[in-house]
Amino acid sequence: MLSDTIAAISTAVGESGIAVIRVSGPDAIAEVERVFRSKTTLTEADSHTVHYGFIIDPKNDEKLEEVLVSLFRAPRSFTTEDVVEISTHGGIISVKRVMDLLLLQPNIRLAEPGEFTKRAFLNGRIDLSQAEAVIDLIRSKSDRAFSLALKQVEGKLSRKINELRHSLVETLAHIEVNIDYPEHDVESMTMDFIKRKCTEVSSGIDELLKHASQGKILREGITTAIVGRPNVGKSSLMNTLARENKAIVTDIPGTTRDVIEEYVTINNIPLKLLDTAGIRETMDIVEKMGVERSKAAVNEADLILLVLNSAEELHEDEIILMEQLQGRSVLVLLNKIDLPQRLEREKVTQYFPESAIVELSAKTEEGLDHLEDAISSLFFGGKLESGDLTYVSNVRHIALLKKAQQSLADAYEAADSGIPIDILQIDVRLAWEQLGEVIGDSAPDALIDQIFSQFCLGK
């Protein structure tokens, strides 16, 4: 299967400046050479060089595209095979023309989704957790999530897991010795050793799991619901924060009928902002649906931005809302400070004595920096750069790590209650296998196929 040559468009299709077509496999260079006219001959060119020229239809010598061709010779490429990357002008028509021409060549076929990364994995260039990190890279929605995924690509998680596995192999070796030379004093020494190792490895896994929820936050963004009565400025705030006009801003109360999502990055913290319809009892069925959804959004939010109109007195709906939000992570935003002020601040402080209260204007953007500071200090004590952590944020990884911990707990208990050592060996080996599955070492083929099928085409 790896003896053939594959090609796919590797950049997102659509309006972009350039697009890249990637070709990988033993015939990659020769096949591209067939349709490429340039001063250099690709088959003779050095690895890691870029060549300017044209894609030509060899049947009629028609120039299809002006391109740059990058050459990577095996094994110094992403897939470890010969790789050619053709950069064309963006836009679906020109890319497709080049792609169609390539697929007409005798030894090139269209790559399956994720096949480039799968080849990198099968050729031993990356391990499974790194391959999954590539999926996350493709999907990551913020710079922070991107660097997080990148860290995983660089193999940090793999290194940690390998350390833990090494510890277990040592333990298994100890057990092996004991089975071969079953003198009594060796056995009791071994039991202590096993218990110590189980505890050590288990707390190593704890370290990885401890940051799992933080990893999740960073990848998907901190779910942040913007709530408040109609017309207090929720959508305006969202727009100001997102610098985009996705949410509809109007003067008529209740037009934000549904929950609108927007991803923003504030002081490096990715937030998933949810603009909710005004939360209040309503008779309008359509609006009511929006209200129901916004209640759900509030329930699942990590952070709630409660927007109040500081130019008006507190409304009884707002008193109810403040009561409902007791005990949650709330930042109170007094919006519209550019207008004459009427809101009784003490009443608000009374409900949220612990929370920061930020005065701002979504219209003039005054006070916006205070909001941004309040968000960072709330989540990270003002310091986000926890740079040296290894995050685990993949559901499959978390499940496997927990399973491995359970196996270690079983082994510990067995060692403690004097169960024959060859039985406890099974649990230790199981833990070793489960950790191995995280990095694809003992993963069954079906699992590997499932993981790679998540990739989009061309990656």
Q: Other CB atoms closer than 10 Å to residue 166's CB: what's the count?
A: 12
Q: Residue 236 in contact with residue 286, Cβ under 8 Å? A: no
Among 190, 202, 235, 405, binds ligand GDP (CB under 6 A): 235
| Residue ranges of the binding site | 22, 85, 125, 231-236, 250-256, 275-278, 459
C-beta nearest to ligand GDP: residue = 233
What is the smallest separation between the CB atom of 433 and ligand GDP, expressed in angstroms?
53
In the shown chain, the binding pattern of residues 302 to 341 toward ligand GDP, with x for contact by CB under 6 A and - for none, equals: ---------------------------------xx-xx--
Closer residue to ligand GDP, CB minimum distance, 311 or 415: 311
Binding residues for ligand GDP, rule CB under 6 A, total: 19
Instruction: Give yes or no for residue 290 binding ligand GDP (CB under 6 A).
Output: no
What is the smallest separation between the CB atom of 283 and ligand GDP, expressed in angstroms?
18
Closer residue to ligand GDP, CB minimum distance, 73 or 257: 257
What is the smallest separation between the CB atom of 234 and ligand GDP, expressed in angstroms?
3
Task: Return the range that interacts with ligand GDP (CB under 6 A); candidates 47-55, 69-77, 226-234, 396-404.
Answer: 226-234
Among 130, 235, 294, 407, binds Zn ion (CB under 5 A): 235
What is the smallest separation between the CB atom of 283 and Zn ion, expressed in angstroms?
19
> Which of the choices Zn ion, ligand GDP, none does residue 88 contact, using the CB cut-off of 5 to 8 A by kind?
none
Binding residues for Zn ion, rule CB under 5 A, total: 3
- Residues from 344 through 383 that contact ligand GDP (CB under 6 A): 361-363
HEC states along the chain? CCCCEEEEECCCCCCCCEEEEEEECCCHHHHHHHHEEECCCHHHCCCCEEEEEEEEECCCCEEEEEEEEEEECCCCCCCCCCEEEEEEECCHHHHHHHHHHHHHCCCEEECCCCHHHHHHHHCCCCCHHHHHHHHHHHHCCCHHHHHHHHHHHCCHHHHHHHHHHHHHHHHHHHHHHHHHCCCHHHHHHHHHHHHHHHHHHHHHHHHHHHCHHHHHHHHHCEEEEEECCCCCCHHHHHHHHHCCCCCCCCCCCCCCCCCEEEEEEECCEEEEEEECCCCCCCCCHHHHHHHHHHHHHHHHCCEEEEEEECCCCCCHHHHHHHHHCCCCCEEEEEECCCCCCCCCHHHHHHHCCCCCEEECCCCCCCCHHHHHHHHHHHHHCCCCCCCCCCCCCCHHHHHHHHHHHHHHHHHHHHHHCCCCHHHHHHHHHHHHHHHHHHCCCCCCHHHHHHHHCCCCCCC
| Residue 253: CA count within 13 A, CB half-sphere | 11
Q: Residue 9 in contact with residue 35, Cβ under 8 Å? A: no
| Residue ranges of the binding site for GTP | 231-236, 250-256, 275-278
What is the smallest separation between the CB atom of 347 and ligand GDP, expressed in angstroms?
20
In the shown chain, the binding pattern of residues 245 to 274 toward ligand GDP, with x for contact by CB under 6 A and - for none, equals: ----xxx----x------------------
What is the smallest separation between the CB atom of 352 and ligand GDP, expressed in angstroms?
19
What is the smallest separation between the CB atom of 229 and ligand GDP, expressed in angstroms?
7
What is the smallest separation between the CB atom of 336 and ligand GDP, expressed in angstroms?
4
- Residues from 366 through 385 that contact Zn ion (CB under 5 A): none
> Which of the choices Zn ion, ligand GDP, none does residue 19 contact, using the CB cut-off of 5 to 8 A by kind?
none
Among 233, 270, 290, 458, binds ligand GDP (CB under 6 A): 233
Among 158, 231, 394, 425, binds ligand GDP (CB under 6 A): 231
Q: Which residues bind Zn ion (CB under 5 A)?
A: 234-235, 256
Q: Which residues bind ligand GDP (CB under 6 A)?
A: 228, 230-236, 249-251, 256, 335-336, 338-339, 361-363
